[in-house]
Amino acid sequence: MKRLFTNLFLVALIIAPSALLSQNCTNIVKYCNHAKRDGFLRNGQSLSGAFAQGDTAEITVIVYKDMEYRMSLCSPTHDELDGKFEFKIVEQITKPAWKDVVTYETETEYDDYGEELEIRVEKKSRRRVYNKVDVVRYDNKKDEDAQEFVFISDKTRKLTIKVYIPLPEGGDERQGLEAETYACVGLLIEHQPGPTIGFNR
Amino acid sequence: MKKNMLKWNVIALVGLVVGFSSCGEGVSPEDGKVVIEENVEDTTLLDIPELDEDMAYSVPTPNELFAVIKETGVLYDGTILNSADNSEKYSSKKIQALNFGVYFADLAFASSFEENASILSYFATIKVLSDELGISNALDAAIYEKAQMNLESNDSDSLLFLSNDTYFQAYSYLEENERGSTLALIVLGGWIESLYIMTNLGAYEEGSNLVTRIGEQKLTIGNLMGFMMKYQDDSNVAEVMEELADIEELFWSFEEEEGDDVSTSQKDDVYVLSGGSTILVSAEQYDKLKELVSGLRNEIIEGEL
């Protein structure tokens, strides 16, 4: 009997955190491996949430010039996802370009007899336009599926982090609609003052 | 906010219509003349923020901001902060939440500059306001004692961690308890106070580090609005968003100067993001921003909003 209670207790101990976490993913990011000992502080822009496996989550963050950042991902409820996240860091850049514009206008002229003539005039102009272009700054698939990204920036910028939550083993995208395929995912962002001169470490 | 966005959208639409209306007339240029106009700068569509409801928007904390500001070489000035004594004035939940954010920014500023006397005072004030807001359970009960111990042992790093942790404890508690509107007011209060402190740390100097950091807040206000949008059904949040409209519009008027092409390089294990544009702030814009921010901030700390 005592052994039965012990076993039940152990099972409960194993299941309980997972069950609790699956109900509420708030602040799940605190379970991610942090780099406090390297001097990093947890950044307020970290994200916790429940995401359907097979979906892509997007978050926009601000990173400051001369700060060093570390971004990493974890899923305490779905350990099997750890190490398998795909993520990209994208920056929207404003790119100037010249655009040829042709417009037509009607002008009035007079012929040799003083008669009014309507002349259609083609007007060509070049306009400076500013296009917004998404530039991929980092793609972990091109970095041996690295699960953390440490960087500094020479300017303050707005970045969008796109995280793909992998499907369960052998799953397909349709399963993403089912409740049991949701996973609690934490995007941990940490920061510390970076090298201020010349980006030399 | 909605009114503002609508206004900008209308401007954009009018720009588009004016730009393209004459292209579709179907008139043949046969027998006509060709006139070449000079190059024209077309900025009609520039800087109109597009907020996506499905996107998560994050706002940097005052702690992070002041770590950056400290590096600009400015000096600490405690006289510009909100007096801890003012906390007694705040009776409505809206004002309490806004000033909770204000005091967090003041604490972050004092912690970054290791101003010990102010740090203790702000920890105590935050504790009092957390009681009023019903979030004191979320905060470490011994927060004040811990702060005092760290001060006595001259451990400024631990104080910074403590100030950071206190922010997260409040933040997480409000999220967990679905009190996002209170959180939105705290975040806004913290940002306005941070901006107020920044604009009162030095006079305008074109291209200076401080002015550049202030200009960069143009990026943050976009995220702040995106974050608050989620909670704008709450009348308190909607009201303060409306109060923020003039400041938001002013930020949109800040021009951007083209820089080097963007590139990503790697040194050791650290990536370096380079290039891109720089946000410019004129002396007039700086003065206007200072005036608008002071006005809103004073309404908040006087409990008149």
pLDDT at A173 (0 to 100): 52
**Which of A47-51, A88-92, B149-153, B215-219 has the least mean pLDDT?**
B149-153
pLDDT in tens, A57-69: 999 999 999 899 9
Enumerate residues 27 to 46 of chain B having a beta carbon within 8 A of any beta carbon in chain A: 27-43, 45-46
Residue partners of B162: CB distance under 8 A and separation at least 6: B143, B146, B147, B150
Enumerate residues 65 to 84 of chain B having a beta carbon within 8 A of any beta carbon in chain A: 65, 67-68, 71
Residue B38 near residue A127, CB atoms below 8 Å? no
Report ipTM (2 d.p.).
0.80
Nearest residue in A to B56, CA atom: A59
Q: Taking 60 as the threshold, does the pLDDT of residue A23 lie above it?
A: no
Nearest residue in B to A36, CA atom: B161
One-letter amino acid at B239 equals E
pLDDT at B175 (0 to 100): 87
Q: For residue A105, which of B39, B29, B17 has the smallest C-alpha distance? A: B29
Percent of chain A with pLDDT over 90: 47
At A67, give phi and psi (nearest 5°): -105, 150
Residue A29 near residue A123, CB atoms below 8 Å? no
Greater confidence, A98 or B88?
B88
B161 touches chain A (CB under 8 A): yes
Residue partners of B303: CB distance under 8 A and separation at least 6: B86, B89, B90, B91, B92, B95, B99
User: pLDDT tens, position by position, for chain B (305 residues)?
Assistant: 444 443 444 444 444 433 333 333 333 444 556 666 566 655 444 455 667 777 899 999 999 999 999 988 999 999 999 999 999 999 999 999 999 999 999 999 999 998 988 898 999 999 999 999 999 888 877 777 888 888 787 777 778 888 888 888 888 889 888 899 999 999 999 999 999 999 999 999 999 999 999 999 999 999 999 999 999 999 999 999 999 999 999 999 999 888 888 999 998 889 999 999 999 999 999 999 999 999 999 999 999 98
Domains of chain A, CATH where assigned: 25-94+134-193 (2.60.120.380)
Domains of chain B: which residue ranges?
A: 56-301
pLDDT at B49 (0 to 100): 60
Check B264 against A137: CB less than 8 A apart: yes
Q: Where are the alpha helices (DSSP H) in chain A?
A: 2-23
Q: What is the pTM of this model?
A: 0.80
Q: Taking 70 as the threshold, does the pLDDT of residue A10 lie above it?
A: no
Interface test with A, best of B28, B58, B177, B220 (most A CBs within 10 A): B58
pLDDT at B31 (0 to 100): 52
For chain A, the straight-line distance linking the first and the last C-alpha, in angstroms and rounded, comes to: 61
B266 touches chain A (CB under 8 A): no
